[in-house]
Chain A
Amino acid sequence: AQKVTQAQTEISVVEKEDVTLDCVYETRDTTYYLFWYKQPPSGELVFLIRRNSFDEQNEISGRYSWNFQKSTSSFNFTITASQVVDSAVYFCALSELRVNQAGTALIFGKGTTLSVSS
């Protein structure tokens, strides 16, 4: 069965520190998608990135970067020079392509709460 593990429950850093959020996943399928979502204190879930299982290229978007390694089943998220506005709960998720059932479902990790202080 598919599973997403975010071992870090809470992380606290001081502004301008770099921080990495870990995500380890389990799936039997060769085709799957990985996601990161941010949930700020206001509560809405904000999509950050999607990566499919055939694309192991790392991605950088501003202060955010993602490291996808199939060999270790990990999809880690790094925030460089953290800011107070980065304080939020971050979720990693896995979606499998279910051809027979003509649909997919997102399975989430338990989330990592990041607190950035000034």
Chain B
Amino acid sequence: DVKVTQSSRYLVKRTGEKVFLECVQDMDHENMFWYRQDPGLGLRLIYFSYDVKMKEKGDIPEGYSVSREKKERFSLILESASTNQTSMYLCASSVWDREDTEAFFGQGTRLTVV
């Protein structure tokens, strides 16, 4: 069974803290993504990676960075957490350019910054 696992389901952090959200997939997928989901705004792409050490900015990269040192792991980093980064964060992975491509999602991390 395919699996995308996010390290935490709920997190509470203080303003100014450095926050790491971890995501691991066991499907040997090339692509991995980080999205944030907010009411009325849907899912917005923060960053994606199409290979180890390769990354591309999505629509809302400000205040975030990412790291992909191994194919199966994609980390989202909030350098200095702020209250406007309180949100649901979703990680996903996918194969690319194949007929059966689809994105598989983790269970989400609900981050609260206080």
Contacts and interface: CB of A to CB of B under 8 A. Distances in A.
Interface residues of B, number: 32
Interface of A: 6, 9, 33, 35, 43-45, 47, 50, 52, 91, 93, 95, 97, 99, 101-111
A102 B50 contact: yes
A44 B105 contact: yes
A33 B42 contact: no
A-B CB proximity, top 6 nearest: A103-B50, A110-B42, A45-B105, A108-B43, A111-B42, A104-B96
8 contacts: A35-B103, A44-B105, A91-B42, A104-B101, A105-B56, A108-B43, A111-B42, A111-B43
Contacts of B56: 101, 103, 105
B10 to A, nearest CB: 11
Contacts of B51: 102-103
Contact of B45 (A9, A52, A101, A107): A107
A103 B96 contact: yes
Given A102-B51, A103-B56, A105-B58, A95 B101 contact: yes
B94 interface: yes
A95 B101 CA distance: 10
B101 A33 contact: yes
A101 to B, nearest CB: 6
Given A35-B102, A103-B30, 18 more contacts: A6-B42, A35-B103, A43-B88, A44-B107, A44-B108, A47-B102, A50-B100, A52-B99, A99-B97, A102-B96, A103-B48, A103-B96, A104-B31, A105-B45, A105-B48, A108-B42, A109-B42, A111-B43
